[in-house]
Amino acid sequence: MFSRAYRIAITVPPLAWVTIFLLVPYLLMFCFSFWSVSSAQTIVHSWTLDNYKQLFTKDVYWETLLRSMWIAARVMVFSLALGYPLAYFLSFYAGKRKDLLYQMVIIPLWVSYLVRAYAWKTILGSDGVLNTLLQYVHLTRHPLDFLLYSPFAVVLTLTHIYTPFAFLPIYAALEHIPRNLVEASNDLGASPAQTFWRVIFPLSIPGVVAGATFAFVLSLGDFLAPLLLGGPSGIMISNIVVTLFGAAYNWPLGAAISLCMLVLVVSLLFLSERLEKKWNFS
Amino acid sequence: MHALLVFCFLYLPIAALIVYSFNGAGVGGFPPRDLTLNWYRILFQDGAIWESVGNSLLVAGFAVVIALSFGIPAALALDRAQFPGKALFRRLVLLPLILPGIITGLSLLMLFNWAGTKLSLLTIVLGHGTALISVATTEVFAGLQKLDRAQEEASLDLGATYWQTFWRITLPNLRLSIIGAALLIFTLSMDEIAVSFFLIGRDNTLPLEIWGRLRRGITPEINAISTIIFVFSLTVIVIWYRLRARGEGSPEIAAELVETAAQGD
Q: Which residues in chain B have their CB less than 8 angstroms from residue A116's CB?
A: 13-14
| Nearest C-alpha neighbor of A282 from the set A179, A196, A176, A201 | A176
Mutation for testing the A interface, residue in B19, B20, B106 having most A CBs under 10 Å: B106
CA distance B164 to B155: 9
Residue of A nearest to B109 (CA): A25
Residue of B nearest to A163 (CA): B10
Shared domain check, B207 and B118: yes
Count of domains for chain B: 2
B17: containing domain: 1-37
Residues A16-74 pLDDT 10s: 999 999 999 999 999 999 998 887 778 888 888 888 998 888 888 988 999 999 999 99
Mutation for testing the B interface, residue in A30, A111, A168 having most B CBs under 10 Å: A111
Total-model pTM: 0.87
What does the CA dihedral A85, A90, A93, A95 come to, rounded to 10 degrees? 170
Q: ipTM, 2 decimals?
A: 0.87
Q: Is B193 a domain residue?
A: yes
Q: Measure CA A129 to chain center.
A: 27
CA distance B107 to B34: 48
Give the per-residue pLDDT at B27: 63
Residue of B nearest to A91 (CA): B3
Tens digit of pLDDT per residue, chain B (265 long)?
A: 778 888 888 888 888 888 888 876 666 666 666 677 888 888 888 888 899 999 999 999 999 999 999 999 999 999 988 888 888 898 899 899 888 999 999 999 999 999 998 999 999 999 999 999 999 999 899 888 888 888 888 988 898 888 888 888 889 889 888 988 998 899 889 889 999 999 998 899 999 998 888 877 777 888 888 888 888 878 887 887 777 766 544 445 555 555 554 443 3
Q: Which residues in chain A have their CB less than 8 angstroms from residue B80's CB?
A: 2, 7, 10
Shared domain check, B9 and B138: no
Using the Cβ of B223 and the Cβ atoms of chain A, whether some distance falls under 8 Å is answered with yes
- Domains, in order of start, for chain A: 58-278 (1.10.3720.10)
CA distance A151 to A78: 14
- The helix-helix angle for B253-263 and A251-278 (nearest 10°) equals 90
Q: Is B89 close to A18, i.e. CB distance below 8 A?
A: yes
Shared domain check, B7 and B81: no
In angstroms, the first-to-last Cα distance of chain A is 31
Q: What are phi and psi of B206, to 5 degrees?
A: -55, -50
Q: Cβ distance A75 to A215 under 8 Å?
A: yes
* Kind and range of the H or E run holding A36: strand A36-37
Using the Cβ of A100 and the Cβ atoms of chain B, whether some distance falls under 8 Å is answered with no
Shared domain check, B210 and B86: yes
Shared domain check, B111 and B27: no
| Nearest C-alpha neighbor of B194 from the set A7, A124, A225, A210 | A225
Q: Which residues of B146-159 are buried (b: 16+ CB within 10 A; e: fewer)?
A: eeeeeebeebbeee
Shared domain check, B130 and B17: no
Q: Is A106 close to B254, i.e. CB distance below 8 A?
A: yes
CA distance A158 to B95: 21
Using the Cβ of B228 and the Cβ atoms of chain A, whether some distance falls under 8 Å is answered with no
Residues A234-261 pLDDT 10s: 889 999 999 999 888 889 999 999 999 9
Distance from CA of A4 to the nearest CA of B (A): 9
Residue of B nearest to A25 (CA): B107
Q: Which residues in chain B have their CB less than 8 angstroms from residue A113's CB?
A: 191, 193
Q: Is B220 a domain residue?
A: yes
Shared domain check, B121 and B185: yes
Q: Which residues in chain A have their CB less than 8 angstroms from residue B76's CB?
A: 10
In sequence order, what are the beta bridge partners of A36? A44
